[in-house]
A and B are shown apart, each in its own frame.
Chain A
Amino acid sequence: MALLVYSLLAGLMFGLFYALVGLGLNLVFGVMRIVNLAHGDFLMLGAFGAYWAFTLLGLHPLWALLLEVAAFILLGFPLYHLLVPRLLRSRDPEMLSFVLFFGVSQVIEAVAIIAFGNTQRSIFAPVFGTQPVSLFGQTFPAAWAVSALVSLAAIAAVYVYLYRTRLGYATRAIMSNREEALTSGIRVHRLSALAFGIGLALAAAAGVLSPFMLGSIDPNMGVDITTAAFAIVIIGSLGNPLGTILGGLVYGLSLTLMQTYLSSWSAMVPYVLLLLILLVKPSGLLAREARHV
């Protein structure tokens, strides 16, 4: 019983973290209908940013997180204008985006290996305090709880942006119909570039937390993260950012439950879950039937 409570709570914390991992990917897909296959690599860059800021400057990861969010939103603009408008003019942007962003991911990974070396690194975990957090009689590393809370805050910020601001309304208009948004005078490219930047910033934020949740970071971590992010996004429903929270929770809980009870098979969880959901309900758990995909 205690084991069940433990894995449920740990699953909840990991679920929130994984929701953050998938959120940026889904936002970019929702707004631009393109798949950012380099998502995991931007996350890796965020992780290394925090690592170097902590190792060289002694900067606390939470400060690094705030700085990186701003930096990655800014980075989104040039990157968007370099890649996306031209891609959207091609015959099948959705399909070609896969290949294009795979190329981007290769470039990032190569540069990271050249710059950082191909070794695993980790941040001294007690940076979030040495006192474990206890919940319902179970104790957890403080870093897990902090990561879960930060993830929740980031998700809440995205929610406020999308549902409570004018820019967010306009962004959601682009999500539901790009052409109509354009004809009604919404600056589609500017807002898409912002959404692209926010997507990257969310990846970087998850990256800052990743050394604490995943144990260690290395330049090749991107591919696995991207696959996990896909699973999460599709479980929730592609193109619906809030569905990602559900996706993250389902993913986190099934992962920790499998690790507790059937550990040798736990690595299969994301993929099998992804296949099952795609076959049973391809549009994701939260999708409305009339949704245009």
Chain B
Amino acid sequence: MSDIPPATPEAAPSPAAARRAGGAPAAVRHGLTILLPAVAVFAVAPRIYPNGALLFAMMTFLVLAQGINVIFGFTGYLPFGYVGFFGTGAYAASLALLRLHLAWPLAMLAGAVAAALLALLLMPLLRLSGAYFAIASLAAAEAMYQLVSNPALVPITNGPYGLSLQAVYDGPVSYGAMVGVLALTLAILIYLRTSRFGLALQAIRDDPASAATAGVDVVRSRALAWLLSALMAGLAGGVYAWHVSVFYPDTVFDLSFTVFAIVFVLFGGPATILGPLFGTLALYGLYDAIGISTPQYFQFIYGLLIVVLVLFLPEGLVSLLRRRGIRVP
């Protein structure tokens, strides 16, 4: 019994195999059938559907869920402190806007770079396995939170009092930026789902020793996956901060970002493109429907759902289709 499907070539045909079969390469197909529609829907939706805050939050969680998918679904590391990258990106981008007066694309890039630097600093954690890694990454995120919110750093980060970006706020542009981040994220996921690199990551997840024997550079591959996933969270954090424009350290370092995203991934199905996408849309939709007015009842349902999922459906909803022989990208 495995809760995550083994990395068989069948699960992700190599581009070469797809070309031999005569069809378009899988990457192009997924780009046309998943990336384009998703991005188009979020780009057009604000004109039709007035609740822009919901759409924006949904995109944020889509990016975070896919980021966690890269390091948890594909590579097998559970980053409990993933929100640390999000918060770091939020602060770095905001400080670049406020203190350095950078143009917004550069500031967002600064957020991503800061998150990647933090990931680089935390790289030794990848030597840890299982629970140790999960706990260590949680501790790292908490340490980052304590650092940013420290009263001693008020001159730089404004400590616990948060930051206000109202002077540089631009709703439509920051919304568009998040659509861009979402597109980039989906492109990365399509690449992982259809490339040898993605297969290598899944091999590492299933059995690092065998993967190394088969010629996978384990250390380099998982380091790349780690940096990629940090980068995605950093970008999302920067754009999120800019869009909400007033935030506090505990808004952007809130552990529930990590936990929501992990559950969205598990609910849909790890190591797929559609699983986390569907998980986020369904569960965040549920959260929006009942979680905001009566948070404790939502928390209760959510907790029960997690328990039932882990015990009875650890491969996510996608596994229901897979059992019927339907291949899910």
On A, residues with C-beta under 8 Å from B are: 29, 35, 83, 86-87, 89-92, 94-100, 102-111, 113-114, 118, 223, 227, 230-231, 234, 238, 264-265, 267-268, 270-272, 274-275, 278-279, 282
A102 to B303, CA, bound (A): 7
A100's contact among B124, B135, B138, B310, by CB below 8 Å, is which?
Answer: B310
Task: Give the A-B pair count, Cβ closer than 8 A.
Answer: 136
A255 smallest CB distance to B (angstroms): 13
Complex contact B3–A96 (CB within 8 A): yes
Question: Is A103's CB under 8 angstroms from B124's CB?
Answer: no
Which 8 pairs of residues, A with B, have the shortest CB-CB distance? A103-B306, A106-B303, A107-B303, A110-B300, A110-B299, A271-B143, A103-B307, A100-B310
Indicate whether B4 reaches chain A with its CB closer than 8 angstroms: yes
- What's the Cα separation between A223 and B174 when bound, in Å? 33
B110 to chain A, nearest CB (A): 24
Asked if B132 contacts A106 (CB within 8 A), the reply is no
Other than A107-B304, A268-B143, A282-B127, give 14 A-B pairs with Cβ distance below 8 A.
Answer: A92-B130, A95-B78, A98-B134, A99-B262, A102-B306, A103-B304, A109-B303, A110-B299, A230-B138, A264-B150, A264-B152, A270-B142, A271-B139, A278-B125
The residues of A that contact B266 with a CB separation of less than 8 Å are: 99
A-chain residues with CB within 8 Å of residue B125 when the two chains form the complex = 278-279
- A-chain residues with CB within 8 Å of residue B142 when the two chains form the complex: 227, 270-271
Knowing A90-B314, A223-B255, say if A230 contacts B146 (CB, 8 Å). Answer: no
Given contacts A95-B78, A104-B307, are A114 and B131 in contact (CB under 8 A)? no
Check A91 against B143 for contact (C-beta < 8 Å).
no
Collect the chain A residues with CB atoms within 8 Å of residue B139's CB. 227, 230-231, 270-272, 274-275, 278
Q: Contact: A111 with B143, CB < 8 Å?
A: no
* Shortest beta-carbon distance from B100 to chain A in Å: 26
In the complex, are the beta carbons of A265 and B152 less than 8 A apart? yes
- Expressed in whole angstroms, the Cα–Cα distance for A234 and B314 within the complex equals 27
Instruction: Report chain B residues within 8 Å CB of A278.
Output: 125, 128, 132, 135-136, 139
Residues of chain B within 8 A (CB-CB) of A100 are 306-307, 310-311
Nearest Cβ on chain A to B234's Cβ, whole angstroms:
20
**B303 and A95 contact, CB distance less than 8 A:** no
Instruction: List, sorted by A's number, 17 A–B pairs whose CB atoms are closer than 8 Å.
Output: A91-B314, A94-B131, A97-B131, A99-B263, A99-B266, A102-B306, A103-B304, A103-B306, A103-B309, A103-B310, A110-B300, A113-B296, A230-B135, A268-B143, A271-B142, A271-B143, A275-B140
The answer on a CB contact under 8 Å between A264 and B311 is no
B259: Cβ under 8 A from any A Cβ: yes
**Are B3 and A105 in contact, CB atoms less than 8 angstroms apart?**
no
Q: Tell me the bound Cα distance from A270 to B140 in angstroms.
A: 10
Q: Mark B133-161, 1 if CB is under 8 A from A, else 0.
A: 01110111011001100111000000000
